[in-house]
Amino acid sequence: MNILFRVVLWSFLLVFLSTCSDNGGEELVHKANNEWIKGRNHGAIEIF
């Protein structure tokens, strides 16, 4: 069970880091910041 958890965790981290390597991640952060500035905190948290 512990090994399965480690495999799933590492797989998730690998997918997460590979998707964040594109410029799309920066674009989403800017969009979330704009939402936060406008006072739409819930929307900004969803984008993050």
pLDDT in tens, 12-33: 777 776 665 666 667 777 888 8
pLDDT in tens, 1-10: 688 888 888 8
pTM: 0.44
Instruction: Tell me the residue type at 37.
Output: I
C-alpha distances out from residue 36 to 24, 33, 40, 42, 44, Å: 18, 5, 5, 8, 6
CB 28 within 8 A of CB 47: yes
